């Protein structure tokens, strides 16, 4: 599922960023060398970060 339409980032990529050490939304975007454009995805990225932190076995 696409999380960020502006940059074409999907949930799998968000998980990947978390596995590589991203713990904040800004670090997720930095991992892919982008910055939020419209910002509509930021709250969802934060939700996914919280979920992946709670569920380390699903990383
Ligand atoms: S949807 Fe992610 S910056 Fe627009």
Q: Can you give the residue ranges of every domain in the chain? A: 2-58
pLDDT in tens, 1-58: 999 999 999 999 998 998 899 999 999 999 999 999 999 999 999 998 888 878 765 5
CA proximity to 45, closest of 19, 27, 20, 59? 27
Q: Tell which CATH classification among 1.10.3720.10, 3.20.20.140, 1.10.10.1100, 3.40.50.720 matches the domain 2-58.
A: 1.10.10.1100
Helix/strand/coil for 21: coil
**Which of the listed residues 1, 2, 36 should we mutate to test ligand 1's pocket, taking the one with most ligand atoms within 8 A of CB?**
36
* pTM listed for this prediction: 0.84
């Amino acid at each position: 599922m696409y999380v960020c339409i502006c940059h074409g980032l999907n949930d799998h990529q968000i998980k990947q960023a978390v596995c590589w050490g991203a713990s904040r939304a800004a670090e997720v975007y930095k991992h892919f060398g982008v910055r939020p454009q419209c910002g509509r995805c930021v709250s969802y990225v934060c939700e996914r970060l919280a979920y992946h932190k709670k569920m380390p076995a699903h990383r």
